Structure 1
Amino acid sequence: MALPSALEALATSSQEEKTGQVMGPTVFHWADMKPVKTATGEVRSLCKAPTATVDQLEMHVTTLNPGESPHPPHRHVNEELIILREGECETLSDGKWVKVGPGSVVFNASNSLHGFRNIGTAPATYHVINWSPNKAKMS
Structure 2
Amino acid sequence: MKFNRSFAVLLVPLCLAFGLFALAQDSDDRARPAIMGSTIFDWTLLPVKVSEKGESRRVLRAPTATLDELECHVTTLNPGQEAHPPHQHPDEELIIVKEGTVESLVNGELKIVGPGSVIFQAANQMHSIRNAGDTPATYHVIKWNSPGMLSLKKAAKKMQK
Separation of aligned partners in 1, 2:113 and 2:136:
14
Secondary structure at 1:21 match in 2: coil
Matched, 1:55 2:68: yes
Moved over 3 A (4+): none
Deviations 1:44-81 (A, max 9, x none): 00111111111111100000000001110100000000
| Residue correspondences, number | 119
Instruction: Output the TM-score relative to the length of structure 1.
Output: 0.82
Flag structure 2 segments of 5+ consecutive residues without an equivalent.
1-30, 150-161
Moved more, 98-107 or 32-41: 32-41
Q: 2:141 matched to 1:128?
A: yes
Deviation at 1:35, TM superposition (A): 1.1
RMSD value, Cα: 1.4
| DSSP-derived class of the 2:68 partner | strand
Alignment of 1:1-139 (within 5 A): 20-135=33-148
Letter in 2 for 1:132: N
**Structure that is richer in helix per residue:** 2
The percent of aligned pairs where both chains have the same amino acid is 50
Distance 1:81 1:38 in 2: 23
* SS of residue paired to 1:77: coil
Partners in 1 of 2:32 and 2:104 — Cα distance?
Answer: 34
Render the CA deviation track for 1:99-138: whole Å, top value 9, x for unaligned: 11000000000101100000100000000000010139xx
Which residues of structure 1 form unaligned runs of 5+? 1-17
Amino acid at match of 1:135: G
More strand, by proportion:
1
